[in-house]
Structure 1
């Protein structure tokens, strides 16, 4: 089923954050589409798909180590977008074939400015290789039954960005996400909404605008300012995932506690949960606070349950799993 990319509130891809618990949290608060964290094609090729009957999930697991690289569930099948890092069309297709049956769409990361992406020819390194972009996107589009999209950053000039967007449109992708910053820009630099508007005016496919959304009202402001079909948020959602709620943000403490519950429910990797909680805490409070230290010292999800007073929920979830295993 094709995703409709018009009038949607979208959770942006965030490394080590966009796992199943956080995606489900954002969806519960009102996100229409949720992007997973970027997974590199090299890693995906080393994985196999497994059904996890205990959790009710589909797991993409690294062979040999048993490490869960990607976890999803049937409830999010119609809205979860798998984001991949790649620099090779054939490898990208091979990797995508292991996840395409369980996600709503596939997105290629062409905006990450981090050195690990750029050094591998991925992420923002693709922005200067339009022929390779064309090769990757057309190969995926021709061979996959799900929508294919990509996410870019602004280039050196507005005209360069527009030309690339037009080239991308010709590949037949279903939508294009544009982060309103250049590779050299820092998060504190204001997003250039006017340059996203230039892209919207130049193409006919849906454009997803991304950059400087920190309150629910900013979704509409960015949409009106750019003419974009939909709006995507990263940091604003990380700091308080209830940004997606038209009723207004929930108290920060409630959102953290609900994230911990979902981490327990989906047996999330403890390192990912700790990282996400640290990012939440860092925005609102001093890093020296006892809570920050306690999160760092937590070794298990049970430790986090204790810290956030969710011991009863932890026990309840584990009792249900034990009874399920006992009945098999």
Structure 2
């Protein structure tokens, strides 16, 4: 798959997720086969005002490249100004604009999926952005209730100059409930000439293959299924290549969590991560996971936390 002028090794992308896709986690997903990773979404206002915590979200290293940075905002001038700072500081292969986040904290500010209700503003944002930055621009959208309105947004984005579009098959009102409707990605792919990436309910190899075949999209973006399970990229890619079904087990999750902590330490990110939440994700679905999480939550030092993780599987396996 070619994106932003770069030939990617595959067509599986890691979704940008707040409080999830830090550099350590992105590196793990990349090692397991993610073709492109994205930072957590970054506020364009915060970039323009020089917020240091915001720049931490864009931290990268050579091992991660190629990677993308995702911005959110609502003012065309501010978004473009932030994008110019981002491309100078981090040199991503693409700058992605968020038109999909359903969080009230984001939509109440007129950002994220709220922008889908203002197509003229969308056109203004992307026209200004694509005309003034050197880095290729992509967009991630949710669907609207009406197919024609969704197609209108998609066409506006292509006309403005975006080089690819990711379509999450849920509406803003759905949040993350219900099922993704991939009819929209299918129609958008049929109508646009740029690469289209399907997002939503990509959980395993079977779902990935089904969505790709149905929509005809160029790639897939994996989000929640990767939380605490970066190995999902390996399992999905192997299934897409040769229908091989690879399982996971407690030992796999344990080793991944230990490696994740090592990377967090390496990049001085431990204090920026909610380890209680992250340990819940890494133990999700495992036998006796409640006990594992309680033991990790009661750890009173880094050494004791690592020891809990080393011992978390016992004789269990999945």
Q: Kindly tell me: are residues 207 and 291 of structure 1, through their superposed partners in 2, closer, same or farther at Cα, counting changes over 3 Å?
A: same
Deviation of residue 301 (structure 1)? 5.3
Does residue 95 (structure 1) correspond to residue 82 (structure 2)? The answer is yes
Deviation of residue 147 (structure 1)? 1.1
Contact 2:9–2:35 (CA<8 Å) still a contact in 1?
Answer: no
Deviation of residue 71 (structure 1)? 1.5
Does residue 179 (structure 1) correspond to residue 172 (structure 2)? The answer is no
Deviations 1:183-233 (A, max 9, x none): 111434111112211111111111010011111333222111101111001
Deviation of residue 107 (structure 1)? 0.6
Q: Kindly tell me: are residues 225 and 290 of structure 1, through their superposed partners in 2, closer, same or farther at Cα, counting changes over 3 Å?
A: same
Distance 1:162 1:72 in 2: 34
- The partner residue of 2:72 within 76, 79, 85 is 85
Contact 2:70–2:96 (CA<8 Å) still a contact in 1?
Answer: yes
- The partner residue of 1:160 within 113, 137, 149 is 149
Give the TM-score taking structure 2 as reference length.
0.84
Deviation of residue 285 (structure 1)? 6.2
Q: Hey, what does 2:280 align to over in structure 1?
A: 278
Q: Report SS of the residue matched to 1:98.
A: helix
Q: Hey, what does 1:224 align to over in structure 2?
A: 213
Deviations 1:43-80 (A, max 9, x none): 222337xxxxxxxxxxxx349xxx834321122232x1
Distance 2:123 2:299 in 1: 45
Does residue 36 (structure 1) correspond to residue 39 (structure 2)? The answer is yes
Q: Report SS of the residue matched to 1:241.
A: coil
Q: Report SS of the residue matched to 1:231.
A: strand
Distance 1:239 1:135 in 2: 38
Contact 2:41–2:69 (CA<8 Å) still a contact in 1?
Answer: yes
* Cα-Cα RMSD: 2.5
- The partner residue of 1:18 within 17, 21, 31 is 21
Deviation of residue 280 (structure 1)? 3.1
More strand per residue: 1
Contact 2:143–2:170 (CA<8 Å) still a contact in 1?
Answer: yes
Equivalences for residues 125-204 of structure 1 within 5 A: 125-204=114-193
Contact 1:93–1:139 (CA<8 Å) still a contact in 2?
Answer: yes
Give the TM-score taking structure 1 as reference length.
0.81
Q: Hey, what does 2:254 align to over in structure 1?
A: 253
Which consecutive unaligned segments of at least 5 residues does structure 2 have? 239-245, 312-318
Equivalences for residues 237-248 of structure 1 within 5 A: 237-245=226-234, 246-247=237-238, 248=246
Deviations 1:59-114 (A, max 9, x none): xx349xxx834321122232x11111110111112212222132221111101110
Deviation of residue 6 (structure 1)? 9.5
Larger RCO (CA within 8 A; separation ≥ 6) = 1
Deviations 1:128-171 (A, max 9, x none): 11111111112111111111011000101112111111111101
Q: Hey, what does 1:211 align to over in structure 2?
A: 200
Contact 2:12–2:219 (CA<8 Å) still a contact in 1?
Answer: yes
